[in-house]
Amino acid sequence: MHVGLITGLGPAATVVYYQRLNQIAADRGCRLELTMVEANIREVLANNLAGRAQEQAEIFAALLHRLRAAGADFASITAIGPLFCWEETRALSPLPLISAVTPLDLYCAGKGYSQVGLLGTARAMRTKLFGQMVRTGVLLPENLEPVGKAYQDMAVGGRCDEATRKLLFDAGREMMEQGAEAVALAGTDLLLAFDGRDPGFPVIDALEVHVAMLADLATGRISLADIRQETGARIS
């Protein structure tokens, strides 16, 4: 299947999505059909903070029409924070649209987790990933706003300093002490803080599980019908 991605919502994550999808397809001996279009992360953040869900959905819809014109069979947004306008975007999308939370939700359920901690933007954490984590309980950092702001600044800047890394690692450890069985990196640019490092607790990388589902679709290992059946039609 031809994958359509809305990217640009964190420079580091955009590169990783491209690299990993290409590598998985090559490892499976498949040709990757992929089209990416660029969203503006600062525009998305401004619309999120101002509560302009419909306006942002219309911007995403224009990008989704470009993906359909390029031949994409389905599309996904390579970030979780922009899902603040998920329902509005679904209503306008000309393509089947897969949320980045869907594979994370299925993965946690498949592992049998009863509770996971969340790290991501403040709004994503506060809304428990926009109400899309329906199979697993979640815990939130006590200092949610500073953690969310630190993540947002890191994603926009494309780099992680030691103070930000310590803040995120400390938040993860606190949630583990509160009863989380693992911490979900529910922001695709959290790789800047965690990649190649041991925080001292188990992590679930939302980017990794999202890429795995996209790769399975791209290489024919699963179908959109399979996902609809497993999620109760939680894709458009």
Same domain, 202 and 224: no
* Residues 106 and 166 placed together within one structural domain of the fold: yes
Residue 11: its pLDDT value, please? 80
Complete DSSP assignment for 108-137: HHHHT-SEEEEES-HHHHHTTTTTT--SSE
Asked if residue 113 and residue 86 are part of one domain, the reply reads no
Same domain, 197 and 214: no
Structural domains counted in the chain:
2
- Give the predicted TM-score (pTM) of the model: 0.89
* 105-155 tens-digit pLDDT: 999 999 999 999 999 999 999 999 999 999 999 999 999 999 999 998 998
Average pLDDT of the residues in 80-86: 93
In a domain, 140, yes or no: yes
- Domain membership of residue 22 as a residue range: 3-100+208-231
Please indicate, yes or no, if residue 236 is contained in any of the structural domains: no
Residue 136 Cα distances to 59, 96, 133, 165, 179, angstroms: 31, 24, 6, 26, 13
What is the structure's pLDDT at 236? 56
Whether residue 41 is found in the same domain as residue 124: no
123 and 38, same structural domain? Answer: no
* Span 180-208, pLDDT tens digits: 999 999 988 898 999 889 999 999 999 99
Asked if residue 214 and residue 150 are part of one domain, the reply reads no
CATH no. for residue 11?
3.40.50.1860
Quick one: 35 and 57 in the same domain? yes
